[in-house]
Structure 1
Amino acid sequence: MEPVLPFALDLSGSAGHLAGSLHQQLRGAILDGRLAAGTQLPSSRRLAEELGISRNTVMGAYDLLVAEGYVLPRPGAKAVIADLHTRQAVARRPVSPLPVEDVRLAPMWRTPYLAREPARVLPERSFRLGMPDHRHFPHALWRKLTAQVLQQWSKQPFAYPPSEGIPALRAAIAKHVAFARAVACTGDDIIVTNGAQQAFDLLARLLVTPGETRVAVEEPGYPPLRGAFVAAGARLVPMRVDDEGLCVDELPDDVRVVSVTPSHQSPTGVALSLRRRMALLDFARRNGAVVIEDDYDGEFRFGGRPLDALQTLDREGVVFYVGTFTKSLFPAVRKGFIVAPAWAHDALAAVKHCADSHSDVVTQSVLATFIADGHMARHVRKMRAVYAPRREALLAGLRAMPAWFDVIPSEAGMHLAARVRDASQMGRVMAAVREHTPGAQSIAEYSIAPPAVPAVTFGYGVIDADAITASLASLRKALQRPA
């Protein structure tokens, strides 16, 4: 009589544990392929007879295999071995999609403040905001510095770098911002972050008492910053922005954090006037508040002498200065920094350590050398010259449509904004904008409430001057056609 299975089973020494031993041996045979998917198991009666054990013992082992998904029962027929690939896929798939309001999620994330939207597919040359031009970056130099750093790094024992950033990069950043923006600091005042967004997240954790702290934000303003503070439990206070920037005189006295983009307001592009800068610092001093100064693309200046940074004017230690290299260099560098007041530095370093205990050392070292050797300053000067004619072409094109657009004054950054003169035509304007100037955005995308005066933002980081001129001419013709 042929054996009922193509391999031997050994139940000796399994007294009292026969079902468990049989189950494990059959399970092992399934996992290693001796029992292939679709193979019929022998009947419980026949296997029990061959092994000299009770049928109930075999049925117990089979039931365990069925419960674990290794065996598929078939009414009126012999059970078969399951396809493990199908079984694993089924095991990973949730029974049903998690509802948005699932109570297992923290309230903030049941309906996220910032919904994840599908990435817009744009032409390589477009009017998108905040993207520097890769064609003018010194790729060969960056590769050379990276190779040098890797060679040096390979000779060092493995170690975790400090969470606040390697000393060489912190010192280089301090010298860079002192030269470029007159920000007074040393390397000891710097916390290196993974881009400006992590800086906002760290500051929100540091400064917000959930449900209590009122944070003033620009309206319109940068949505990811608002998201970081909402996630930390802040109570947002949207503040109006006009041609002088944040309306400081409207700040409520119970606000404890004020977030501003004073060099180049995001998204309108206006600069915070010197009068309001001094008023904001006085507000913070009088009310025990702090100011977060986001200087995201202030290096690119096209007018006269830039206004002093808030941090430069600060004499009371109320300003946290946030900078980033993603706009001046490239997004994937993922390096930003915070210049923190002395009283907050140690606490901020502790927050950074909890959130991101050990940042990468290779990219930090390359960036430190890039800055210290003067390459950063040279690259910014070069890009300023690249962006200037693009900015002029954009200004000229928008000013050629006075019936439709009113350009908002701006002397810095990588984008311009223009108000739409007739708010009732905003739908028609945006339809034409999306068709002829892809990447341009309505400031409604930066606003908490519908803006009282609609406007459109146009980036010029990745589009050449001649393409800007042609696109705006096309936009003008589209708007001039009868509705």
Structure 2
Amino acid sequence: MELHITLEGRRDLIAQLYTQLREGIDSGRLAPGSQLPPSRLLAERLGISRKTVAEVYARLTYDNLLVGLVGKGTFVNVQTTSNRPTVPGEQLAGRAVLRQWREARMPMTQMLHSSVLAHDFLGGASSKNQFPEAGWRRCVLHALRQTGKARGVYSHPEGLPELRDAVARHIGFARGVRCGPQDLVISNGAQQALDLISRVLIEPGAAVVVEEPGYPPARLLFAALGARVVGVGVDEQGLKVSDIPDGTRLIYVTPSHQFPLGMPMSLARRHALLARALALGAIIIEDDYDCEFLYEGRPTPCLQSLDQHGLVAYVGTFSKTMLPELRLGYLVAPPALLNAVIAAKELVDRHTATLTQWALARFINDGFHIKHIRRCHELYASRRERIIQHFQGFLGEWFELVPATAGFHLAALCKRPFDIEKVISQARLVEVGVYSLASFAHFQPPRPGLLLGYGAIETLDIDIGLGRLLNILQRLK
């Protein structure tokens, strides 16, 4: 890429060139560390003498804006600070919206990007060292061959037919979802699927129900799009359907493994939720985020398979079974929403990257995906059992586990009053990461407790981490 310089006429060439380069450096357009063209090449391109360019470079070097490195070239000084002019945020017409985005708290992001601890019970993280990299590499090479054959045009906004077919067969087999490839939209993670549904349903002031406590990114997304978000509490059977207010347009739930507490929604409560949604004319978003990992009892039918009226939008992700970095999710859209969601997807980002779509389709079709799930299921089951044993033992004096049959995190509620936040901070001092349930509540303070993820922590680290947690608790007596 050539350096953008424009000169007018033949007068004051040194001043013109100096002014443009200085403005480029001051504004940040020429970033610190950027290499400038050699004086001979720049002079040839601009049709001026090399002496003129050398003189300008010398002046900027004297002003400490450029630095010359012998044998390497001329560079923008890395110590240069940008003087790019800005309008204060409070003077902008859109200041109220900007303030809302600036002040949005992202507890999940803060949790995921906190300092790495030796014994970290991080929720939502999977066991990356179990991922079959060799098999995935083969699938990526296949994807490269497929994209090499493409015509160089944009792909289907709803996703590659090959991947939609593979996903439809997988979730039909594993979760009993009633759909065909034509009902699916491939998204950049489950979060984009939530965004697409919200875009086609939410207008300012629309009532949206979320679980309380619940998944903060969903609540924040709905609010950012102008919804009037209503938190409805949960009990041992899941969302309290009787508390859903009149006028609700959208209901977001995690029925298979309530986030963050973990209890599954009972079958009776599922039928009640479907009936309430029908009476309201509301759409239900069923977020089945870690549905593949079931450890006890028989699977409960997903809401989508029970739906007889086209009210459930089923959202899934490969972040839990594959890698979060891939950003691959999917949406089974009810017929009334499908075309609108596809239009929104095309408008937002055209389509999800086809390279990863081709690779994932091959990964599923060649059996790598189901084999990986089975390996992780066995590993997670053993880690889960180890945590349960600790809380049935000495930790049972302090906490009670919320009964959960699926996923790869557990919630532990405090049985007696103590400063849970102090315990969490002291645990971090001894390299133990446990997380407060308070981060997932917004509308009312939750019962104090901990979220304990076991997807990423090694099995041997569970004993050490929970042993250190017990020592901290015993010092409170």
Tell me which residue corresponds to 1:341: 334
Structure 1 pair 124–481 and aligned structure 2 pair: CA distance change class (3 A): closer
**Paired letter, 1:306:** P
Equivalent residues of 2:157, 2:351 under 8 A apart: yes
Tell me which residue corresponds to 1:415: 409
Q: Deviation at 1:105?
A: 3.7
Q: Deviation at 1:465?
A: 2.2
Secondary structure class of the residue paired with 1:111: helix
Mapped pair 1:252 → 2:245: yes
**Paired letter, 2:92:** V
Say which of 6, 22, 28 aligns to 2:11: 22
**Paired letter, 1:352:** K
Q: Partners of 2:57 and 2:14 in 1: how far apart? A: 16
Length-normalised TM-score, structure 2: 0.83
Mapped pair 1:438 → 2:423: no
Q: Partners of 1:437 and 1:272 in 2: how far apart? A: 35
Say which of 104, 115, 126 aligns to 1:114: 104
**Paired letter, 2:193:** A
After superposition, residues 199-214 of structure 1 pair within 5 angstroms as 199-210=193-204, 212-214=205-207
Tell me which residue corresponds to 2:421: 427
Q: Partners of 1:307 and 1:405 in 2: how far apart? A: 27
Structure 1 pair 221–461 and aligned structure 2 pair: CA distance change class (3 A): same
Mapped pair 1:229 → 2:222: yes
Secondary structure class of the residue paired with 1:263: coil
Tell me which residue corresponds to 1:58: none
**Paired letter, 1:365:** W
Say which of 428, 447, 453 aligns to 1:453: 447
Deviation sequence 1:400-422 (CA, Å, 0-9, x none)? 21221011000000100010112
Q: Partners of 1:293 and 1:127 in 2: how far apart? A: 26
Q: Partners of 1:280 and 1:111 in 2: how far apart? A: 32
Equivalent residues of 1:165, 1:192 under 8 A apart: yes
Q: Partners of 2:125 and 2:248 in 1: how far apart? A: 33
Tell me which residue corresponds to 1:466: 460
Q: Partners of 1:157 and 1:95 in 2: how far apart? A: 43
After superposition, residues 321-400 of structure 1 pair within 5 angstroms as 321-400=314-393
Equivalent residues of 2:409, 2:453 under 8 A apart: yes
Say which of 214, 217, 220 aligns to 2:210: 217
Secondary structure class of the residue paired with 1:417: strand
Q: Partners of 2:188 and 2:446 in 1: how far apart? A: 35
Q: Deviation at 1:92?
A: 4.8
Secondary structure class of the residue paired with 1:36: helix
Q: Partners of 1:192 and 1:95 in 2: how far apart? A: 39
Q: Partners of 1:437 and 1:244 in 2: how far apart? A: 35
- Give RMSD over aligned pairs: 2.5
Mapped pair 1:312 → 2:301: no
Equivalent residues of 1:311, 1:320 under 8 A apart: yes
**Paired letter, 1:277:** R
**Paired letter, 1:270:** M
Secondary structure class of the residue paired with 2:179: coil
Structure 1 pair 91–130 and aligned structure 2 pair: CA distance change class (3 A): closer
Deviation sequence 1:75-126 (CA, Å, 0-9, x none)? xxxxx97846479955554468x55x55344533313253367631113652
Tell me which residue corresponds to 2:172: 178
Q: Deviation at 1:437?
A: 6.8
Equivalent residues of 1:114, 1:224 under 8 A apart: no
Q: Which 10-residue stretch deviates more, 290-299 or 462-471?
A: 462-471
Q: Partners of 1:392 and 1:192 in 2: how far apart? A: 35
Q: Partners of 2:83 and 2:166 in 1: how far apart? A: 48
Equivalent residues of 1:124, 1:462 under 8 A apart: no
Aligned residues: 424
Q: Deviation at 1:21?
A: 4.8
Say which of 69, 94, 103 aligns to 2:92: 103
Mapped pair 1:271 → 2:264: yes
Tell me which residue corresponds to 2:47: none
Tell me which residue corresponds to 1:64: none
Equivalent residues of 1:300, 1:414 under 8 A apart: yes
Q: Partners of 1:480 and 1:126 in 2: how far apart? A: 20
Secondary structure class of the residue paired with 2:147: helix
Equivalent residues of 1:258, 1:291 under 8 A apart: yes
Q: Percent identity?
A: 38
**Paired letter, 1:477:** N
Q: Partners of 1:425 and 1:152 in 2: how far apart? A: 57
Structure 1 pair 130–91 and aligned structure 2 pair: CA distance change class (3 A): closer
**Paired letter, 1:36:** V
Tell me which residue corresponds to 1:59: none
Structure 1 pair 102–397 and aligned structure 2 pair: CA distance change class (3 A): farther
Q: Partners of 1:446 and 1:391 in 2: how far apart? A: 22
Deviation sequence 1:146-191 (CA, Å, 0-9, x none)? 1122123323332211111110001111101101100000000001
Q: Partners of 1:435 and 1:450 in 2: how far apart? A: 29
Mapped pair 1:134 → 2:124: no
Tell me which residue corresponds to 1:166: 160
Say which of 55, 59, 65 aligns to 1:35: 55
**Paired letter, 1:127:** F
Say which of 473, 477, 480 aligns to 2:471: 477
Q: Partners of 2:445 and 2:15 in 1: how far apart? A: 68
Q: Partners of 1:299 and 1:471 in 2: how far apart? A: 27
**Paired letter, 1:327:** K
**Paired letter, 2:162:** A
